[in-house]
Amino acid sequence: MFSVYIYDKTFDGLLTAVFDAYFRKTFPDALLSEGDALPLFCDELHTVVTDEEKAGRVWRGLQKKVSSSALGCLTQSWLSELPEVGMLIFRYIRKAIDAPRSIETNFGDPDVLQLAQIWKKVDGERVHLMQFVRFQKAADGTFFAAFEPQYNALPLTVHHFKDRFADQKWIIYDMKRRYGFYYDLQEVTTISFDDDSRESHLITGMLDESLMDKDEKLFQQLWKTYFKVICIKERMNPRKHRQDMPVRYWKYLTEKQK
């Protein structure tokens, strides 16, 4: 019998699906969202209604079976947004709950190994976001930075930016997913710019010169000059350069602007 669960593609929805599966004693062969094409042969279809209490019970149960680092691996892997990650995490959770001992270091299990590999990729994206941030100072004193990360790793960097730039207002924005975070010197809030909003110019990822602080253009030119001066032409290695600084970040790097 081929079973399909429909859920809302949220992490709480996924945990609720785990709860429902144990309660119903039927485990899904596929996890889909509303509107996804159903498999040709589907014997059972169950719609999961996300419930924070059910999700919390599953999470507390997991806390007794695996370490906090393994739990972090699950939530961080979820941010990869890969098509198969929901079912992968579901299988991992089921194995963790049913196993007599922790499975987190059992890399002979393909699901454990694959999740570890996904976690490594997402964590690498987190590091890149912190490495390649290039803030632009607006006329009102707010610092703005934009990215287009491959994975949804921006939430993993908020604590770093809040700690590192605690004395200045800033906005960091994911251009690909159209959301970001704003720090007002006290707390961080989630923001999103619509095409019709007064902040819609920020959707380009670069501040217009008319909105820049009076010294920002000078600082950008100084940074470009510094970058050009330290570059030794005889030691240019484009392949290594692209490996260390992925091309997807160049669009928003000051030193890469013409």
What percentage of the chain carries pLDDT values higher than 90? 60
Looking at the structure of the chain, the number of domains it has is: 2
- Structural domain ending residue among the three candidates 94, 124, 154: 124
* C-alpha Rg value of the chain to the nearest Å: 22
Rounded distance between C-alpha atoms, residue 219 and residue 87, angstroms: 48
| One domain, residues 137 and 209 | yes
Asked whether the predicted pLDDT for residue 32 surpasses 70, the reply is yes
Q: How many helices (H) and strands (E) would you count in the chain?
A: 8, 8
CB distance 187 to 116 below 8 Å: no
Q: In what order do the strands lie in the sheet with 179-183?
A: 136-137, 143-147, 170-174, 179-183, 188-191
Beta partners for residue 31, in sequence order? 5
Same domain assignment for residues 137 and 251 = yes
Q: How far is CA 230 from CA 14, 113, 222, 223, in A?
A: 49, 41, 12, 11
**Residue 107 and residue 149 share a domain:** no
Please state, in angstroms and as integers, the Cα–Cα distance from residue 99 to each residue in 70, 86, 105, following that order: 15, 20, 13
Same domain, 240 and 189: yes
Q: What is the pLDDT of residue 26?
A: 93
Dump strand ranges (E) for 107-258: 136-137, 143-147, 170-174, 179-183, 188-191
Print the domain residue range for 141.
133-256
Band (253; pLDDT cuts 50, 70, 90): low
Beta strand 188-191 with 179-183 is antiparallel
CA–CA distance, 207 with 210 (Å, rounded to integer):
8
End-to-end CA, the chain: 59
| 178 & 219 share domain | yes
Determine the Cα–Cα distance for residues 101 and 81; give it in Å rounded to an integer.
29
Phi, psi (deg, nearest 5) at residue 189: -125, 150
Counting other chains too, the contacts that 34-37 makes at CB distance below 8 Å and 24 or more residues apart are: 34/6, 34/8, 36/6
Of 124, 148, 172, the position where a domain reaches its end is: 124
Q: Do 96 and 164 have their domain in common?
A: no
Per-residue pLDDT tens for 172-211? Answer: 999 899 899 999 999 999 988 776 554 545 555 555 555 5
pLDDT on residue 207 = 59
139 vs 216: which has the higher pLDDT: 139
The answer to whether residue 164 scores a pLDDT higher than 60 is: yes
Are 91 and 27 contained in the same domain?
yes
Residues 90 and 176 in one domain: no
Q: Return the H-helix or E-strand segment holding 30.
A: strand 30-32
Helices (H), 44-179: 52-63, 68-78, 85-98, 110-131, 158-164
Same domain for 38 and 75? yes
Say yes or no: 11 and 116 in one domain.
yes
At residue 214, the pLDDT reads 56
Mean residue pLDDT of the chain comes to 85
202 and 246 share one domain: yes
Task: Please give the structure tokens belonging to residue 126.
Answer: 């987190």
149 and 216 share a domain? yes
- Which comes out higher in pLDDT, residue 81 or 248? 81
Task: Say whether pLDDT at 155 is over 50.
Answer: yes
Domain boundary among 124, 148, 178: 124
Q: How far is 35 from 90, CA to CA, in rounded Å?
A: 20
